[in-house]
Chain A
């Protein structure tokens, strides 16, 4: 060897093409914006901890209280029961609609996914309005009393019917990607169809089932509207009651922290499952499309099952909604003016949240996608904090923060929009990151080389190419923000009612006619962005 290469100097090494090319430091303004956004995203969690740390005694008391333990068990039992039922519904439906010759399978797939559109508290309201005291069934039968639908069973039924699509979507998409030749091979080795499903298909579906089941479990644990309408004491209702009644806010914060801890445990378990269970196809690329499995005479029970599900989860709720809406209009229970004002409030709040969420998500996605590094990665992770915090906990933490630290924003729309933005920011980041992944950095470099500065390149190249992703991200934030109930209940300025709060208020008082029109309007507002998102295929994310 010629020349003395000292041990500390860099050694020559063949680079994997593009591995390190174009690594740059982020512009100061972008970095500063990212810092502010990430700080905002972790503010609720951090402040919750500050509140608890400032007065540890009561918080620990309530966290380790026997009653808390009981509520915890009840919530976990509900989450487990809903998740199990959702998996039991979703896996057969997924298999029937992907792998068999079920007549009209594509239509069934769509119909079975649609219940996801109905917010769980609207679903709960519709069940109560149909089967509860003074509901449709009681009217129709003309009896004094019906067996109660409230409590664990009611909450379980409603949450199952409106969360099973969360499992159906990932399982279906995984089933579609499975290599059907593996099943052919298993059959060729003498396995029966059922054994083949159990030994070959099911193991490959586990990651999707786990991911979907986790989404359902997280949903149940953070759900507030459906459980409170079904009068089931869950962790979130407990927190709400404690917040409304007690003067000791540390105790409420303690409850919130326990719930967050629970969700973090589930998220951690999920990430372990995803990493350990990743299955890869061995061998070369695309295989032939699967041959549908002939159902034969089993198609009749299959059709019956699908019909029953669609009837209970979709047709009946919509029929009930239409029925009570016409009742409401006929009885004059709602004025167009009031509903208009409610809709305007909902739209305004959600639109602000979508605007802020889209902009913040863009900053975070640009940092993570274009300036990878430890700092960007940390900021991106911090921005996902809202994912692990139920809406009610975000709202609580911000109430404490506002009343103690920045009193002028308490009881303002600003605080509500801030809460919604922080809570749903992770939803906005996904589609923008995906869109950015489609834009090669070389395209931006080409624009630089053609004489345009970084800002000009962003304006003329990057921004137009990201438009679809930014719209999708903002639409997702909008959809969830307009449905959000507990955060709105807690943070909305006094006298500021939205469609969501009105539905909840009226239903808890048993005024079903008065809830119907706001529910219908809410669905009508949510439908167009939802349709656009499902066309883009981002809704399942």
Chain B
């Protein structure tokens, strides 16, 4: 079993005069996991449903491997797409047992060995005869995944697959599902609004906003080199400090940064709080600052600092040593940062 690449181009969908998906272009390499990340209502679920054939796009093309599923005048119905789908609420068949659910996509006389094989893959060996409503949330999730994988699809779509699970279970299942998908070798696209989920599972993250994809890249790229302020702030806390670019360097209140590919002129420096370092002493050009407040979270602490200009920025540090209001410190950038032309 192996996955096939997924290619979307110019995908668009509106309902009456409501535009749900403006234009989506996306390519997912065979056998990789791609996260479609965005706030609720950004059109990501509609995109997923168009790929599954559950919605008809107004325009655009969808192909999986060398099969074109959607194009001008072309529409392959969902039952002939050979795409597995895992729904947010799992959508298990309540009147069928575990084996009945998993075997449903294998035709009227499902191959028992294949059912057992897939149940093995998701760690549900021995649960074949149980009614699905007796299963825990995590087990139901795995049945849904097994059901989607059983007919050996080239592509699996997952719609907010972990949102119905409690926090500890969610963490465990994220890594389990990642391994199961990798073992199956299938191409996977999953939709989520949770950046931690997208960053921790996916090989590629596509950040979506207002019906368009704003950035596609590896988790590290989208997190530390966001393509826009919106992407930057959607992926986590961000500090924006104004600066000036000239001769391959950016001067800003926190010192000077070496950068490439930046036009000269006013820029914004985007820094994650964990890249803001503080200390009683620091690099030579590190400005002095005063701790104005501090929130303690146990494993870390968020320290608010007033720079000489009066600007407040935040630094995320380990929980120890503790900083206190009124402490005089030095501040510098220690870690990835990004520079965007000033808006």
Measured in the bound complex, the distance between the Cα atoms of B17 and A144 in whole Å is 81
For A16, list chain B residues within 8 Å (CB).
41
Interface check B42, CB cutoff 8 A: yes
Q: Are A20 and B49 in contact (CB under 8 A)?
A: no
* Given A10-B17, A449-B81: A465 touches B49 (CB 8 Å cut-off): no
Q: Are A450 and B54 in contact (CB under 8 A)?
A: no
For A450, list chain B residues within 8 Å (CB).
79, 84, 104-105, 147, 151
Q: Are B54 and A445 in contact (CB under 8 A)?
A: yes
For A13, list chain B residues within 8 Å (CB).
18-20
Interface check B15, CB cutoff 8 A: yes
Nearest residue (CB) in B for A461 is B93
Nearest residue (CB) in B for A449 is B85
Q: Are B91 and A14 in contact (CB under 8 A)?
A: no
Q: Are A17 and B41 in contact (CB under 8 A)?
A: yes
Report the minimal beta-carbon distance from B227 to chain A, rounded to whole angstroms.
15
Task: Among B41, B80, B87, B107, point to the contact of A446 (Cβ < 8 A).
Answer: B87
Q: Are B45 and A17 in contact (CB under 8 A)?
A: yes
Q: Are B91 and A446 in contact (CB under 8 A)?
A: yes
For A21, list chain B residues within 8 Å (CB).
45-46, 49, 54-55
Q: Are B151 and A440 in contact (CB under 8 A)?
A: no
Report the minimal beta-carbon distance from B285 to chain A, rounded to whole angstroms.
38
For A11, list chain B residues within 8 Å (CB).
17-19
Task: Among B16, B79, B88, B210, point to the contact of A451 (Cβ < 8 A).
Answer: B79
Q: Mark B37-49, 1 if CB is under 8 A from A, else 0.
A: 0001111011001
* Given A13-B19, A20-B18, A461-B93: A442 touches B82 (CB 8 Å cut-off): no
Measured in the bound complex, the distance between the Cα atoms of B88 and A266 in whole Å is 45
Task: Among A15, A445, A448, A461, point to the contact of B43 (Cβ < 8 A).
Answer: A15
Interface check A453, CB cutoff 8 A: yes
Nearest residue (CB) in A for B210 is A12
For B84, list chain A residues within 8 Å (CB).
449-450
- Report the count of interface residues on B (CB-CB < 8 A): 44
Q: Are B104 and A447 in contact (CB under 8 A)?
A: yes
Report the minimal beta-carbon distance from A461 to chain B, rounded to whole angstroms.
6
Q: Mark B83-111, 1 if CB is under 8 A from A, else 0.
A: 11101110111110000000011010000
User: Could you tell me which residues of chain A, from 361 to 418, have a CB within 8 Å of some CB in chain B?
Assistant: none
Report the minimal beta-carbon distance from B123 to chain A, rounded to whole angstroms.
21
Q: Are B105 and A10 in contact (CB under 8 A)?
A: no
Q: Are A15 and B46 in contact (CB under 8 A)?
A: yes
> Which of B22, B80, B95 has the largest count of A CB atoms less than 10 A from its CB?
B95
Interface check A22, CB cutoff 8 A: yes
Q: Are A10 and B14 in contact (CB under 8 A)?
A: yes
Measured in the bound complex, the distance between the Cα atoms of B147 and A461 in whole Å is 15
Measured in the bound complex, the distance between the Cα atoms of B325 and A163 in whole Å is 75
Interface check B265, CB cutoff 8 A: no
Measured in the bound complex, the distance between the Cα atoms of B93 and A449 in whole Å is 13
Q: Are B78 and A442 in contact (CB under 8 A)?
A: no
Interface check A191, CB cutoff 8 A: no
Q: Are A443 and B81 in contact (CB under 8 A)?
A: no
For A20, list chain B residues within 8 Å (CB).
15, 18, 20
Interface check A452, CB cutoff 8 A: yes
Measured in the bound complex, the distance between the Cα atoms of B151 and A448 in whole Å is 13
For A452, list chain B residues within 8 Å (CB).
79, 104
Q: Are B18 and A15 in contact (CB under 8 A)?
A: yes
Measured in the bound complex, the distance between the Cα atoms of B103 and A451 in whole Å is 11
* Given A10-B17, A15-B20: A445 touches B42 (CB 8 Å cut-off): no
Interface check B250, CB cutoff 8 A: no
Interface check A106, CB cutoff 8 A: no
Report the minimal beta-carbon distance from B199 to chain A, rounded to whole angstroms.
23
Report the minimal beta-carbon distance from A527 to chain B, rounded to whole angstroms.
29
Q: Are A465 and B79 in contact (CB under 8 A)?
A: no
Task: Among A12, A443, A460, point to the contact of B91 (Cβ < 8 A).
Answer: A443
Q: Mark A81-113, 1 if CB is under 8 A from B, else 0.
A: 000000000000000000000000000000000
Interface check B248, CB cutoff 8 A: no
Report the minimal beta-carbon distance from B94 to chain A, rounded to whole angstroms.
7
Measured in the bound complex, the distance between the Cα atoms of B88 and A16 in whole Å is 15
Interface check B185, CB cutoff 8 A: no
For A464, list chain B residues within 8 Å (CB).
95
Interface check A23, CB cutoff 8 A: yes
Measured in the bound complex, the distance between the Cα atoms of B81 and A451 in whole Å is 8
Task: Among B40, B54, B105, point to the contact of A17 (Cβ < 8 A).
Answer: B40
Q: Are B93 and A12 in contact (CB under 8 A)?
A: no
User: Could you tell me which residues of chain A, from 332 to 349, have a CB within 8 Å of some CB in chain B?
Assistant: none
Interface check B119, CB cutoff 8 A: no
Report the minimal beta-carbon distance from A299 to chain B, rounded to whole angstroms.
43
Q: Are B78 and A445 in contact (CB under 8 A)?
A: yes
* Given A15-B43, A21-B49, A461-B93: A451 touches B151 (CB 8 Å cut-off): yes
Measured in the bound complex, the distance between the Cα atoms of B41 and A14 in whole Å is 4
Q: Are A440 and B91 in contact (CB under 8 A)?
A: yes
Nearest residue (CB) in A for B43 is A15
Report the minimal beta-carbon distance from B300 to chain A, rounded to whole angstroms.
33
* Given A10-B17, A17-B40: A449 touches B52 (CB 8 Å cut-off): yes
Q: Are B95 and A465 in contact (CB under 8 A)?
A: yes
Q: Are A15 and B41 in contact (CB under 8 A)?
A: yes
* Given A440-B89, A461-B93: A14 touches B82 (CB 8 Å cut-off): no
Report the minimal beta-carbon distance from B37 to chain A, rounded to whole angstroms.
16
For A448, list chain B residues within 8 Å (CB).
53-54, 77-79
Interface check B211, CB cutoff 8 A: yes
Report the minimal beta-carbon distance from B115 to chain A, rounded to whole angstroms.
13
For B45, list chain A residues within 8 Å (CB).
17, 21
Report the minimal beta-carbon distance from A15 to chain B, rounded to whole angstroms.
5
* Given A15-B46, A21-B49, A450-B147: A442 touches B87 (CB 8 Å cut-off): yes
Q: Mark B138-154, 1 if CB is under 8 A from A, else 0.
A: 00000000011001000
Nearest residue (CB) in A for B17 is A10
Report the minimal beta-carbon distance from B189 to chain A, rounded to whole angstroms.
14
Q: Mark A11-42, 1 if CB is under 8 A from B, else 0.
A: 11111110011110000000000000000000
Task: Among A9, A446, A453, point to the contact of B85 (Cβ < 8 A).
Answer: A446
Task: Among A14, A445, A451, A461, point to the contact of B105 (Cβ < 8 A).
Answer: A451
For B210, list chain A residues within 8 Å (CB).
12, 14
Q: Are A23 and B15 in contact (CB under 8 A)?
A: yes
Report the minimal beta-carbon distance from B44 to chain A, rounded to whole angstroms.
10
Nearest residue (CB) in B for A446 is B91
Measured in the bound complex, the distance between the Cα atoms of B54 and A453 in whole Å is 13
* Given A15-B20, A17-B41, A22-B55: A445 touches B15 (CB 8 Å cut-off): no
Measured in the bound complex, the distance between the Cα atoms of B23 and A9 in whole Å is 14
For A465, list chain B residues within 8 Å (CB).
94-95
Q: Are B104 and A12 in contact (CB under 8 A)?
A: no
For B89, list chain A residues within 8 Å (CB).
440, 442
Measured in the bound complex, the distance between the Cα atoms of B78 and A446 in whole Å is 9
Q: Are B91 and A445 in contact (CB under 8 A)?
A: yes
For A442, list chain B residues within 8 Å (CB).
87-89, 91
Q: Are A443 and B93 in contact (CB under 8 A)?
A: yes
Report the minimal beta-carbon distance from B139 to chain A, rounded to whole angstroms.
17
Measured in the bound complex, the distance between the Cα atoms of B132 and A465 in whole Å is 14
For A447, list chain B residues within 8 Å (CB).
93, 104
Report the minimal beta-carbon distance from A331 to chain B, rounded to whole angstroms.
53
29 contacts between A and B (CB under 8 A): A10-B16, A11-B19, A14-B42, A15-B41, A17-B45, A21-B45, A21-B46, A21-B54, A440-B89, A442-B89, A442-B91, A443-B91, A445-B78, A445-B85, A446-B85, A446-B93, A446-B147, A448-B54, A449-B54, A449-B79, A449-B83, A449-B84, A450-B104, A450-B147, A451-B79, A451-B82, A453-B77, A453-B79, A461-B93
Binding site for B on A (CB under 8 A): 9-17, 20-23, 440, 442-443, 445-453, 460-461, 464-465
Q: 4 additional contacts, CB 8 Å, given A10-B19, A21-B54, A22-B49?
A: A13-B20, A15-B46, A20-B15, A451-B82
The 5 closest A-B pairs by CB, nearest first: A14-B41, A450-B105, A442-B91, A10-B19, A10-B14
